[in-house]
Chain A
């Protein structure tokens, strides 16, 4: 019960968007982009999302819309084709910037491979404390961004979003990353920081608990009782966000 358009939005904004965070927290990611000229890749999906990835000084930034001035442009004829690129079954063909194919092959693809390593980790890798923490932080950003995309595009997710009142929902891992889900007229946008003055909040007590939740090893309802998830404010917002969270796993599986 998933649809390819919602998945395309998740792939564009949640998966590619997490490259921003990967470059911030992982030196190997930055090393892949080091000593490279600033470059941008525009993605345009017919009847789907469009966004541009900017790479500069070892860091990455995702902006909405396929920028006319992007260095490389990769269009897709459908959401299915775009999703196929993400799962490796479709080879992307740039229509602009072919001379920068080297960046795609030697920097961008290794960067996405590195992201995959963190988002679909080998259990052995998770035994390393630093890797475990970085992987969980990246999962946090991935999930919080995917949540808004599902609320905006998935039929059942939209039903949940239709029941969320306007305001900010702060999601966080204690001592770690924070994200604000901003809701206006039932449209959701994830901002990857604490915007202050939330109308409701949900905090996971510690990185280990967050990981177990993301992996489906523990349940949010049980964790609230155990006091390892704190919630407050307008609880109906949290209630509906939790219903959308249920669907995140479905799309990211």
Chain B
């Protein structure tokens, strides 16, 4: 028997209220436009509460959440150990004039945990630390130019955006150079053409952009990049905001066998408590010290305490290994469900951040149709973004997900004969 599908009347009411007082109702990545809610009527718009691997919307619909708030949910929503540490710190105080010693404890833990780190600098969001990394690189090298990989996302500051984005000036991106992923020869040419001018090469550890199959590094790619950057006095920045700690607790550069000069973390540090971290090599420490770069909430102690508890628990559970195993079980099951219904599901990227695409048409209409049928049955997949594993996901959750996937495939099959 076909599964019951969700409806969202209260969510729509809340969204209508939101549009009156908030630009676009819900802006950014959690919003229906950027989140690719296709059609918008199939997706929950407002949440009510969350626990473990689930969230419930204002209509009382439960979803297994494979987006994990776009990454921060790494141990499970409301993880008791992280929340206990946060509550304990809250009793002592969160933000006061003298920074809490918890900042030092977390910095020590980051340096002990991240293989390439000699120091740690804290902020709030991923964008804060990618921007900080660029400033450190420019301060250290006294150079302007930055090399990016096409398909990148490094935040929302003007330098991270593109010349055709609203509110961005040509001057904001005038020193940005672009190459294709895994194309070392192209990178070499860009370095040759801009000798002595490139402050940094910034990249995610693998290409986990949106709207295309994610791509892993070619054999030896990162090692050659490392050598090139060193030879040219260019700072190698790894943006590990998205993948950080999900592949390797020592950092994704460690996972791929090289060392970054600067590495940016955020999402998986503190299981939803807001803290980000820039880690770096010793030779860049004084340049970071020289920056005029701070924020009102960057010294909040509660997220520091939560981060310590979260990182220690991830170590105890060996979450990267767990994520890989669970994700492979899940995605193998999804591929089988697709094949059983006559569809071809392509899974790409690292398993812990798996990316899905139905390859049965190049327009993605079929893919979007399947995604929305899954969502309406209680499995929150994203249309065109990588997903995230979390430690609270159970075998029962995976089994239910596969049932939903199968039912969703059966629902769309008659339309695409």
Contacts and interface: CB of A to CB of B under 8 A. Distances in A.
A200 B25 CA distance: 24
Interface string A219-234: 1111011110011111
B2 to A, nearest CB: 23
Contacts of B33: 220-221, 224-225
Contacts of B170: 1, 156
Interface string A132-160: 00000000000000000000000011011
B396 interface: no
Contacts of B6: none
B163 A225 contact: no
Contacts of B19: 222, 225-226
Interface residues of A, number: 29
Contacts of B368: 232-233
Contacts of A156: 163-164, 170
Contacts of A199: 362-363
Q: Is chain A's binding surface mostly helix, strand, loop or mixed?
A: helix
Contacts, number: 81
B365 A159 contact: no
B416 interface: no
B167 to A, nearest CB: 10
Q: Give the interface size bracket for B toward A.
A: 20 to 34
Contact of B40 (A167, A198, A225, A234): A225
Given A234-B363, A235-B383, A226 B164 contact: no
A220 B164 CA distance: 16
A243 interface: yes
Contact of A160 (B23, B41, B164, B383): B164
A225 B15 contact: yes
B36 interface: yes
B26 A225 contact: yes
A106 to B, nearest CB: 44
24 contacts: A156-B163, A156-B170, A157-B164, A200-B363, A221-B33, A222-B19, A224-B37, A224-B40, A225-B26, A225-B31, A226-B19, A227-B40, A231-B38, A232-B38, A233-B364, A235-B36, A235-B211, A236-B210, A236-B211, A236-B384, A240-B164, A243-B166, A246-B166, A247-B164
